[in-house]
Structure formats: structure tokens, C-alpha cells
């Protein structure tokens, strides 16, 4: 299983929100590139970058930072936040992102999902399943829907999406623990969901939200998650990247 450190960007700063609340943030660095380089040096194989400004505004706001990351780090990075048009997706991939994460449009515009897959292939697409109280939230987590993660995953897999990241918003940034019940349920449904198109095999799931210890990562690996996205726990020192990578290297997928 991959341990994927997160860099959340707001006004050019590296921050973490508490339960997705834009009014409750902690600033951890003024230099996102320096943070990314430190993650790479510590043994991370991939970095997860979120444009919080873009998620809130609906259009990317930190493209210049993506360009800098592509120049200064040697590991792949995936980006999300505000990618709601084909032009925004194209630009994100053009500046060096390995994968893009789409959330709002995956729920509201399935035709656009089809177009993104057709133009870039399923391997470069991740769909974000961001859940609050059992239902998906969109528009930078500011709008709740009546859709749930299992139903959306099943429908999107039928379009050819093969990789998803599940976030329990209520656990995000809390340093409590992941929502293991919901995560285990989602994993079980991957065994009953067929992916169409050019995806090579079983659905891959990434977990996010509430991860605060090595045992949490080990449990996620044992459940079968392909990756775990870790934010605040790394910044506070609760999780050391090198130790985490070694702990789950031979576990799970």
C-alpha cells in the first residue's frame, strides 16, 4: 500500500482544515515546494495536492505551484480542487500532474467524466468520494447531496473509472481514526463492481480522513486499500513517513 502525504494549498500556503471548515485552518508552511521535497526525501512515492482555493471557487488557483512541483520533485503527484472543466483537467495534466482528482463533476456531469477518460485514459483519473454523514458533498465540501459513496462508485465504474479516494469529512483533520466501518463496506463492494473500458482489473481505493497512527495504516493495508492519504498526522509528527512506508510496504496490495 502506498502512503501518500497531502499538501493542501490555500493562498499559496500549506494548511490543514478541521473537518473541511474553511474558517478552522492551521498553517504549516509558507513553502509548498520545500514541503514536497522533504516528503520525497523521507521516502514518499507520491504526493497528494489539493487546491482549496480552487475547490471553493470552482476554478484552479494554484497552477503556478504545480509547475514548481514538476520542476523540483522527482516523484509523481496527483492534484485536485476546482477541476470542473475539460480545460482545467487538461491544464493540470499539462503542467506535470500524474493524476487528477475530480469530485464535483463526477457527481454532476457524467458526460464530462466520459470525455476526460476518453482523452486521458482511466489511469490518470481519480474520483473523490467525499462523504459527510453518509452522503457525498461537492463544491469544496460546501454543498451536500443525497448520493452515497457506494452508489456513485458503482455508477462511475460502469463508465470506466477504476480508482477512487474516499474521505470521511467528519474525520478529516481530526487525528481520531478513519471510519473503518464505511471503508470496509466500500472495499466489499469493489468485489461486486465491474469496471468497463481499459481499466486493467479490480477497482483501487485510497483512504483519507482521520488517519493518525501506523496501526491505522496497517489496518487499511490489510483491508485491501491501494493507498492512504495522510495529512495532519505527518505535520504534527504523529506519523513518520519513512516508518510508515516501511510498515506497510509488504502489506495489502
Q: Which tens digits make up the pLDDT trace of 31-83? A: 999 999 999 999 999 999 999 999 889 899 999 999 999 999 999 999 999 99
String of DSSP letters for 11-48: TTEEEEEETTEEEEEEEEES-HHHHHHHHHHTT-S-EE
Q: How confident is the model at residue 253 (pLDDT cuts 50, 70, 90)?
A: low
Mean pLDDT within 196-212: 88
Mean pLDDT within 162-182: 92
Residue 11 has pLDDT above 80, yes or no: yes
Q: Which helix (H) or strand (E) holds 78?
A: strand 77-80
Residue 224 has pLDDT above 60, yes or no: yes
Integer Cα distance of 213 and 208 in angstroms: 13
Q: What is the 3-state secondary structure (H, E, C) of 209-223?
A: CCCCCHHHHHHHHHH
Q: How far apart are the first and last CA of the chain?
A: 6
pLDDT for the residue numbered 200: 78
31 is catalytic: no
The single residue of 53, 130, 168, 172 carrying the catalytic annotation is 130
Average pLDDT, the chain: 93
Residue 180 has pLDDT above 70, yes or no: yes
String of DSSP letters for 191-252: TT----TT--SSPEEEEESS--SHHHHHHHHHHT-SEEEE-HHHHHTSS-HHHHHHHHTTS-
The single residue of 8, 51, 53, 172 carrying the catalytic annotation is 8
Rg (alpha carbons) of the chain, rounded to whole number: 16
Mean pLDDT within 152-173: 93
pLDDT for the residue numbered 252: 64
Give Cα separations from 59 to 96, 109, 164, 196, 201 (angstroms): 18, 16, 21, 29, 32
Integer Cα distance of 230 and 211 in angstroms: 6
109 is catalytic: no
Q: How confident is the model at residue 146 (pLDDT cuts 50, 70, 90)?
A: very high
**What is the percent of the chain where pLDDT is above 70?**
98
Integer Cα distance of 45 and 74 in angstroms: 9
Mean pLDDT within 155-181: 92
- CATH architecture, domain 2-248: Alpha-Beta Barrel (3.20)
Residue 173 has pLDDT above 80, yes or no: yes
Integer Cα distance of 195 and 224 in angstroms: 17
Long-range pairs for 25-29 at CB < 8 Å and ≥24 separation? 26/232, 26/235, 28/235
Residue 193 has pLDDT above 80, yes or no: no
Q: Which of 126-140, 151-165, 195-209 has the lowest mean pLDDT?
A: 195-209
Torsion of CA 12, 233, 244, 216, to 10 degrees: -130
pLDDT for the residue numbered 52: 94
Q: Model pTM? A: 0.93
**Highest averaged pLDDT of the listed ranges 138-147, 199-208, 220-229:** 220-229
Amino acid at each position: 500500500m502506498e502512503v501518500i502525504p497531502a499538501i493542501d494549498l490555500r493562498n499559496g500556503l500549506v494548511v490543514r482544515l478541521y473537518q473541511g471548515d474553511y474558517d478552522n485552518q492551521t498553517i504549516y508552511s509558507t513553502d509548498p515546494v520545500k514541503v514536497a521535497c522533504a516528503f520525497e526525501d523521507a521516502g514518499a512515492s507520491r504526493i497528494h495536492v489539493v487546491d482549496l482555493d480552487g475547490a471553493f471557487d470552482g476554478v484552479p488557483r494554484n497552477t503556478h505551484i504545480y509547475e514548481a512541483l514538476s520542476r523540483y520533485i522527482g516523484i509523481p503527484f496527483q492534484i485536485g480542487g476546482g477541476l470542473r472543466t475539460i480545460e482545467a483537467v487538461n491544464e493540470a495534466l499539462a503542467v506535470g500532474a500524474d493524476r487528477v482528482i475530480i469530485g464535483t463533476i463526477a457527481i454532476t456531469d457524467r458526460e464530462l467524466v466520459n470525455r476526460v477518460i476518453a482523452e486521458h485514459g482511466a489511469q490518470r483519473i481519480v474520483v473523490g468520494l467525499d462523504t459527510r454523514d453518509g452522503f457525498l458533498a461537492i463544491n469544496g465540501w460546501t454543498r451536500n447531496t443525497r448520493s452515497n459513496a457506494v452508489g456513485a462508485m458503482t455508477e462511475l465504474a460502469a463508465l470506466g473509472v477504476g480508482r477512487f479516494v474516499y474521505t470521511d469529512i467528519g474525520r478529516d483533520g481530526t487525528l481520531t481514526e478513519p471510519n473503518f466501518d464505511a471503508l470496509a463496506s466500500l472495499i466489499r463492494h469493489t468485489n461486486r463492481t465491474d469496471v468497463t473500458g481499459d481499466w486493467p482489473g479490480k477497482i483501487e481505493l485510497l483512504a483519507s480522513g482521520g488517519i493518525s497512527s501506523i496501526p491505522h495504516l496497517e489496518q487499511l493495508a490489510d483491508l485491501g486499500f491501494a493507498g492512504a492519504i495522510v495529512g495532519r498526522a505527518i505535520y504534527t509528527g504523529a506519523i513518520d513517513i519513512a516508518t510508515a512506508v516501511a510498515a506497510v510496504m509488504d502489506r495489502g496490495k
